[in-house]
Structure 1
């Protein structure tokens, strides 16, 4: 069989295996186009155009068409030499033509009359204008990736703040969940979960889209391409940014490097909130090397790299813990009165305020003193829990921000990449690569094995193992027909265990029926509203074992017909996710204590009431997750696209096409793996039984067609006008889907009124879970659920919306790009989008009547349910509008610059971040439409790399001692600035007594920023907000909703500035040594968290912490840190 036919069969056969692999089909190659003309500007047809990649020697040849146009597609990115020959004209050679991944570079050639034996050679600079594409995109080249100060872990994602419309990237998750140090960011107002990161066209996203699987080392990256609007039809599975990373390849010359970066606490500055306390320990080592070269010259090339990243840091934290007096029931310093829940009426009225009795005399408190709980009323188990919590260690701090701690976090990762490129022959190119990373993490808890709030409850140990394998093959059938195939697999397994894994702490405290095995070992999660959370315990999500596999493949074909370039593609993707993890309350259980149980209607409450409820064991809500079976998730995706790029005139390029996406409804790996809660009759339908389909019968959306159109008009050689419109979609982002009984079961115990304790105590523990048999028809009826009692009937259920529609984002833009001369380019653009069917999480059992408590919940009267029923997903809408600007100087004369600005507004229903919109006002849902949680009205970022103009081959001081002293110096910087994110105000929901609906304050004066920082210093005027009053309706005192809107005000802005200075010393011919110093967060400028907006909190209106950002690595000290680095390269 001919080799060519064999290749075609192999590629097509791979594509047909849709059940076993998948892909996005994003461009990982490049295109070079141009027009050949004569001195009279008439087109020259049949001219021979030969291109040669300068590093590998690979070459291709074409002839121009009747319009004088030529086009090379599926090119490996690189730097090319272009030679044009034609009888009657001189041969013209243009060297150093850069062609980057996912770009269309243009090189127009005007031939001069003469003989082909005569030649003209020119050296081209980087094409400055985006002349033939209509998308909004930004490219980062090797120089920027290597030389910009990217943070202690050298994550390339820190550069993405330079993209117009992009938020500042942040580390938004725990060191366990995000051990690969993936950053979160928002592009053009979209959720961080609808971005799409690929490495050389292969999917690099975790299943839910929240994080990326693998972050390549900076030293291994050749280019980073980021598109944020009007993608070509071949791009999909994204509503935000599409980012593609291209790894370095070997060349005809051997090249490599060995580097070491080191940062220690001795070079770090104190942070804003730790000016005199414990100085955090910090040691950061980022060491590795690269090597590349030819295996066979001009034919086979190899590149590899290795990285070991080690970080040991003491994370400084500031918490609010109960004072010694509060623990003993002495609540005299509470700003609000504490009421005795054993008095008065069930609705909280008629209660009497606590006063001391004779049992308090030993405390030195006279009988009859208000806000003192008698010692005889204090419950034993809460006292045992309090004994696990250290006392405040900041003198005079009072009841808020009164405990500081420095907790050690260590993280060690080992990473390597291997990439092989093969020029099989002139018309065939093969690439194969393999990457592997293993990360070990150990996060010490603030309160020892009791856990606590130091890392948000994620303390413990864990190992994340990741590997990626991919191949790509391109073939040229003829000068006008090209094909490209890719296949890739990525796998990761994240294993996390809390620090108290294996201990029976709940039993030791006297709380029964929790520690029933390893997965439920340890201590429950305790939350006392108004204090740092969890005050004791760990997050619900650990322990966790989460292996995921993504398998993908793609086939693209391009056919050139005259001035039309037709491109077609087919893709398929498969996802496997098997997870053992708590979801709602955790496998050790969770207890929440609120203010209403020790309050009374119409009287303001505070953290003092929260603490009193805990001391009396007046639980507001409690729950526990029970792993009945391990959860699993399987999903397949199929994509098709067709597009035409038409060179309509010598100045106008049109792009139009259509994309089709099909996201098959998810299924479990075995029957019983999903179940659907039916709120109409309080029943469960279990998949795989009695004809119930494995996909729950969810609507199969086969009409997800996405038109894309765009234009690029070259008004003159220095001005391009571009615009476009396109529709894009993304898969369902939630991680938990339909994990109900029998896969997961959670026991949820809630109070029926904000003023009544839930029907459970710590001494009772949780009841034994009911495990009813699944009937042959697969439907567990309401009678069985109710008979099982609260252990099953009052579980938090998920009800999947069977009419779910894939989320759709329609984006549009108009841009003007102007060359300013001397390698400067400025772009001005209007960019907007409209989102429809954006998935939201809607509680069908939220209270709909103010003051009614559980009686106002739809499922309470009929089925006795007070737990949530989550409808996933409920479609919502979003919109985004912006003016964006970018100024760029491509690298030339030792200097490169990139800056961007956006003036923008993003509106929708998401108030908390993540992929699902959130509802807070079930009584009046229209109030939920507001500025999105990540809405930042203004962003600005800039970067530069500058080789100082001194020394050999530079402008000044080229010779002698001066050249040796002043030569080789280079400076770079990375600056990011943005206005604040929205503030969401809340008041005591106990007073509202409408479960699920958030209470907000009443605003009685204008919002005024005082800009105070730290405990006891208000950032805004808190007197502008008061608790909503109750009103008399038909003789009954009824609470009212507050009038403060959702996300109408914003918190403090952010400024981040990293700087580097380095010098390169020549050692021998092509061997150099570079010494470098990075100043991360060089100005030691704190990135403040938003102030507390909870009226019941002791720190209401105060800023008591900072946020981790792109200024440093995920585990690095947030203050200024100096990092010393040395690199040997050849």
Structure 2
């Protein structure tokens, strides 16, 4: 059990803000025994978890004056009238007094504004701190039966069923916020048979099944809807149209409406067949086998290039800014964006419609051979080869997927004309992964080990799994905009109409210019990683060993996503390459393999095996990870991906981890308190702990991209001085000298590199105190008191990284407050 009374207060959750709710209970039991003596055995278990907690969230909401249309009195904030000037944003005049006239406040804004939470902090940004509730109920049921057929043959069957109910509420509440309810479940079943065919030959046969089903949707889908707001042209089916359109206002605002990826209804099924063999022959231990996966993906999940089945309206600062003007002030990103919302000046309106439920299939084949060769008493070699065939997933029926051809601006429909069901994406037959390792003993106390291997990323559905089934004709993704960063595009309150597009027999369609699509290259080699290491290990005393080594890897053909229809700075939509060629303004997102990354590290470890009541390990890693982008891309600049090279988001320069198990020296077999009451009180106590100290995570200094006038891109900040760290965290002080960065001028990218700054590191010590009580040979009770982050040291988040944000450089989030858990376990 963990609860609020045993949990420390978040450092940003200060009085009089209430302490967030927190109750966590875990419970369960296991039971096992014989069914048929010495033949058949059973084992069953149940584990349940209930969690009720609230998280302290900091977000930005408009002040009352802004909700009334009054943006006056804010230094550097100028609201320009989008109805004046030229279409490219030049020549605009400011609104008189920075006031939105009451007659021009959009009626949807008038309906929603009263439901937006009011600030509880005295600032214009990051001015709302709330405790958002989270509820989790989970149940897991396990069963297993083992049977011995004879001395050479045995088998088992096991089963697991787990179900969950997860409710996550948003900072803006359940009515207009992005609160969600998820009800997934999983089923796993395995049957295994192993047989010794001879003293040197063992065979194993296994069949498995796994099902993952999930259903996620908005929490409150009836109070505020497109119908009550007067939003026109909704989707016809109630499953995907019930609820409220997504309204995004940039500048730190959480956004209103149901998240665009919901409803998410998935049923993924995996059938697995494995046969492995083990043969001993002289100094060789041979292992070989085959692994076959049959994957089925049945989904009602309008994702991908997705704008939401209820529609989406985006508001950015450009529609109320001046092209070539003084630029956005410290409050302009949110201030100008919220003014655009008040005026109904959208820079993009979009929607998704899904007339077909996608169903996809895939069969994967894996073969391997491995030999452990004892060359001599000093030298052991490990030699292996693995081959993998992981073809692209295909729809079950013709018309269940499509692929965009950017060279001809054509959409190719799977299963029609010359297009196969896989959209002509080729299978990579060259996935041969060698594995080579050695171990060489140098005397009686030293060992040198090394290894090299190639591993392929061929996940159940791969990086592109389902991608081509998330667009026409399965999904209609329609968007109006972005013409350029300053133009008002579309109409707030009116979703773009769904076009009626018949499927031609040749499967080739010329899409409308406002339809967004994915591109997957037909030549799609598998991503892979080359891993290698060389270590030296030395026994420095009885029961204690030290090792040091080099560990590295090279990632090749790493997956990424890139916006191909992004414009160069200063060119607006006229500079979009597919607008120049075909008049196309919508996104063209490429999902391909082709990035590289690298990891290099020095690692050392000191280990003491358990003796005299003590065991410990201490490990240190000094490392560097570099690559182009993170999380399958994540590019700031889309037009030149080389600009995105730098430390990866998960790079940590220094990492030190130590753990210990210590039995207190009291009780039976210990130096003191061996009998009597002292034995019962002081004996059988154990102190365990894990200590971690890790360097900070990298982050990028960015700027608002509106002055760049480069649709499809984000933007770097400008570096104008050295990055000097203050080491101060929390609201008010800045983590680094913000004078070293500035917003870039109009029509250009900033010069800052990706992930050129570092956030705070963290220190953490988890400690557990365990008491074992033995009442007899059959009955034992274990009591545990566990403290997570014993020292209650804040784990600071990274600072606000947008130079246009008034809180630039400040750290406004922290986590990891101390929690204490009490547990009791009965074994009999």
TM over 0.5: yes
Write out aligned runs for 1:288-437 (5 A).
288-331=28-71, 332-356=73-97, 371-394=98-121, 397-437=122-162
Local SS of the residue matching 1:935: coil
- Counterpart among 506, 512, 536 of residue 232 in structure 2: 512
Q: Which moved more, 1:652-661 or 1:817-826?
A: 817-826
Residue 653 of structure 1: CA displacement?
A: 0.3
- Within the candidate set 553, 558, 569, 1:833 is matched to 553
For 1:998-1009, list aligned pairs within 5 A: 998-1009=714-725
Name the residue aligned to 1:530: 251
Task: Report if aligned partners of 2:601, 2:621 keep a CA contact under 8 Å in 1.
Answer: yes
| 1:311-710 correspondence runs (5 A) | 311-331=51-71, 332-356=73-97, 371-394=98-121, 397-452=122-177, 457=178, 459-502=179-222, 505-514=225-234, 516=236, 517-534=238-255, 536-583=256-303, 584-600=306-322, 601-605=324-328, 606=332, 607-710=334-437
Q: CA RMSD in A?
A: 1.9
SS in 1 for 2:109: helix
Match of 2:813 in 1: 1105
* Structure 1 residue 339 displacement after superposition: 2.1
Matched residue, 1:928? 644
Is 2:403–2:518's contact at 8 Å kept on the other side of the alignment? yes
Distance 1:296 1:1055 in 2: 53
Contact 1:941 1:975 in 2 (8 A): yes
CA contact (8 A) 1:656 1:708 kept: yes
Counterpart CA distance in 2 for 1:592 and 1:412 is: 35
974-983 or 647-656, which deviates more: 974-983
TM superposition shift of 1:502: 4.6
Tell whether 2:591 aligns with 1:879: no
Map Cα deviations across residues 768-822 of structure 1 (whole Å, 9 max, x no partner). Answer: 2113111122222x2xx33xxxxxx422201111101100111111011222334
What SS does the corresponding residue of 2:174 show, helix, strand or coil? helix
Please state how far the C-alpha of 1:466 moved relative to its aligned partner.
Answer: 0.8
Structure 2: distance between partners of 1:994 and 1:919 = 14
Tell me how far 1:928 sits from its aligned partner: 1.4
Given that 1:602 and 1:1029 are in contact with CA atoms closer than 8 Å, whether structure 2 keeps it comes out as no
The number of residue pairs the alignment matches comes to: 814
User: What is the DSSP-based 3-state SS (H/G/I as helix, E as strand, rest coil) of the residue aligned with 1:624?
Assistant: strand
Partner of 1:774: 503
Deviations 1:974-993 (A, max 9, x none): 22332111112211211111
Residues 594, 1055 of structure 1: alpha-carbon distance in 2 compared, 3 angstrom cutoff: same
Query: Which residue is equivalent to 2:21?
Result: 281
Q: 2 CA distance for matches of 1:677 and 1:622?
A: 22
Q: For 1:387, what is the secondary structure of its paired residue?
A: helix
Task: Please give the alpha-carbon distance, in whole angstroms, between the structure 2 residues aligned to 1:957 and 1:464.
Answer: 52
Shift of 1:691: 4.0
Return closer, same or farther for 1:817/1:850 CA change in 2, 3 Å cut-off. Answer: same
The range that moved more, 877-886 or 312-321, is 312-321
Structure 1 residues 672 and 502: CA distance shift in structure 2, 3 A: farther
How far, CA to CA, are the matches of 2:553 and 2:588 in structure 1?
Answer: 31
CA distance in 1, matches of 2:350, 2:727: 39
| Equivalence for 1:801 | 521
Shift of the alpha carbon at 1:514? 2.6
Q: CA deviation at 1:611?
A: 1.9
Kindly state the Cα deviation for residue 468 of structure 1 after the two structures are TM-superposed: 0.6
Q: How far is the alpha carbon of 1:573 from its aligned partner?
A: 0.9
Matching of residue 733 in structure 1 with residue 473 in structure 2: no
Q: 1:387 to 1:566 in 2, by over 3 A?
A: same
- How far residue 748 of structure 1 moved from its aligned partner, in angstroms, is 1.4
Q: How far off its partner does 1:950 sit?
A: 0.7
Inter-partner Cα distance in structure 1 for 2:411 and 2:224: 34
Residue 602 of structure 1: how far off its partner (Å): 4.3
Cα distance, 1:1018–1:908 mapped onto 2, change above 3 Å: same
User: Please, which of 645, 655, 659 is the counterpart of residue 943 of structure 1?
Assistant: 659
CA distance in 2, matches of 1:921, 1:956: 67
Deviation at residue 767 of structure 1 after TM alignment: 2.6
User: Conserved in 1, the CA contact under 8 Å of 2:527 and 2:593?
Assistant: no
* Cα shift at 1:962: 2.1
Q: Is the CA contact (8 Å cut-off) linking 2:349 and 2:491 kept in structure 1?
A: no
Q: Deviations over 1:159-193 (max 9, x none)?
A: xxxxxxxxxxxxxxxxxxxxxxxxxxxxxxxxxxx
Q: Does 1:1068 align with 2:787?
A: no
- Alignment partner of 1:450: what SS? coil
SS in 1 for 2:337: helix
Kindly indicate whether residue 612 of structure 2 is the aligned counterpart of residue 910 of structure 1.
no
Q: Post-superposition shift, 1:736?
A: 4.0
- Cα deviation for residue 951 of structure 1 reads 0.3
Q: Is the 8 A contact 1:355 1:374 kept in 2?
A: no
Structure-2 separation of matches of 1:932 and 1:734: 22
Q: Is the 8 A contact 2:691 2:766 kept in 1?
A: yes
Greater relative contact order (Cα < 8 A, sep 6+): 1
Q: Secondary structure at the match of 1:326?
A: helix
Shift in Å at residue 712 of structure 1?
0.5
Residue segments in structure 1 that go unaligned for 5+ positions in a row: 1-261, 357-370, 787-792, 1031-1038, 1108-1117
Instruction: For structure 2, list consecutive stretches of 5 or more residues without a partner in the other structure.
Output: none
- State how far apart, in whole Å, the 2-side matches of 1:767 and 1:951 are: 77
How far apart, CA to CA, are the structure 1 residues paired with 2:611 and 2:269?
Answer: 43
Distance 1:295 1:404 in 2: 58
* 1:1083 and 2:781 are equivalent in the alignment: no
Deviation at 1:960, TM superposition (A): 2.4
- Of 814, 819, 828, the match for 1:1121: 819
Alignment TM-score, normalising by the size of structure 2: 0.95
Instruction: Say whether the 8 Å CA contact 1:920–1:996 is kept in structure 2.
Output: no
Which of residues 441, 445, 466 is equivalent to 1:718?
Answer: 445
Q: Residues 565 and 645 of structure 1 are in contact (CA less than 8 Å); yes or no, is this contact kept in structure 2?
A: yes
Indicate the SS of the match to 2:725.
coil
Matched-pair contact (CA < 8 Å) for 2:438–2:451: yes
Q: Which residue number corresponds to residue 1113 of structure 1?
A: none
- Rounded Cα–Cα distance in structure 2 between residues aligned with 1:735 and 1:1014: 41
Measure, in 2, the Cα distance between the counterparts of 1:697 and 1:891.
58
Counterpart residue number, 2:700: 984
- 1:501/1:518 contact within 8 Å kept: no
Deviation at 1:662, TM superposition (A): 0.7
